[in-house]
Every structure is written in C-alpha cells, then in structure tokens.
C-alpha cells in the first residue's frame, strides 16, 4: 500500500453495507474515492436474520462491489471495529471495472465458513439504492 505524509494508505474492497456512502460517511466522516470492482473466487452470502451479507472463498464465483481508496491507518482501524469479530480482514486481488487493472485491497471475509446461518444463492441488494430506485448522493 502507498504512503501519504508518513502514514500508510490502504485500499478496501466493500460489498455490503459499506457500499452505502451514508454508512461510510458516518464511520469515517468523509467519503473516500472509490472504483467499482470485482472480487473473483468469492461468493456473497445472505445471513439469516441479518441485513448485511458475508463473503467466503468459492471457486468460479465472483462478488461485485467497490474499492475504497486512500484509507488511512486510523480509518482502517475504524472499519475493523465496525466489522467486529465475525469478519477477518484479508488481502485480496480485485479487478477494477473502470480500468481493467488489478489491485490489491483488504476485504472482510466471514470468519466461520461452516456457519449454518449463511444462505447460499440468495442475492444481496446493494444498499446504495434508495427505496425509490435512485442513488444517495451528497451525504457527507
């Protein structure tokens, strides 16, 4: 990851509640630059009784999301606390959709691959859409 002003900055692949600018802004007090991205070799699961998804490595599957760019060490700590112990932060390779380049990023992967609450094959509707089908803007 890059260094800015003596601090390391990171990329973070997000695919669930962190797709929503208002959630990111509430946590980080800003909306970082981002790029749409695909994480190959993973699958997004719904979790029974929860409004947020999980991802796990699964061959021949992919997860669409976006990469938050320029995340500081402090912001990464805040995201770690938000994701809590149910997720493990791992380094992944993602494909950026707007440039076809590959990039390394952190991603939060569900800690328990055998969790009976994970539901295979149920899609997750991105939280970036408003109830009327529009997109949220200017929230931070």
Q: In the chain, how many H helices and how many E strands?
A: 2, 7
Contacts of 34 (CB under 8 A, 6+ apart): 66, 67, 68, 69
Active site residue 83: yes
Q: How far apart are CA 108 and CA 87, in angstroms?
A: 5
Q: How far apart are CA 122 and CA 126, in angstroms?
A: 13
Out of 59, 81, 83, 128, the active site residue is 83
Closest C-alpha among 49, 37, 29 to residue 122: 49
**Can you say whether the dihedral through the CA atoms of 10, 12, 17, 22 is positive or negative?**
positive
Give the DSSP H/E element, type plus range, for residue 79.
Answer: helix 73-83
- The residues that are catalytic are 83
């Amino acid at each position: 990851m890059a260094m800015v002003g003596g601090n390391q900055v990171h990329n973070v692949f997000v695919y669930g509640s962190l797709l929503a600018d208002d959630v990111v802004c509430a946590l980080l007090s800003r909306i970082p630059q981002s790029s749409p991205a695909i994480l190959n070799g993973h699958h997004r699961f719904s979790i029974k009784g929860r409004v947020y998804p999980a991802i796990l490595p699964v061959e021949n599957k992919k997860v669409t999301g976006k990469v938050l760019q320029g995340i500081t060490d402090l912001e990464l700590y805040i995201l770690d606390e938000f994701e809590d112990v149910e997720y493990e932060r791992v380094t992944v390779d993602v494909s950026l959709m707007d440039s076809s380049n590959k990039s390394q990023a952190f991603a939060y992967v569900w800690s328990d691959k055998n969790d009976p609450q994970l539901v295979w094959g149920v899609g997750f509707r991105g939280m970036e859409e408003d109830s009327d089908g529009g997109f949220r803007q200017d929230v931070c």
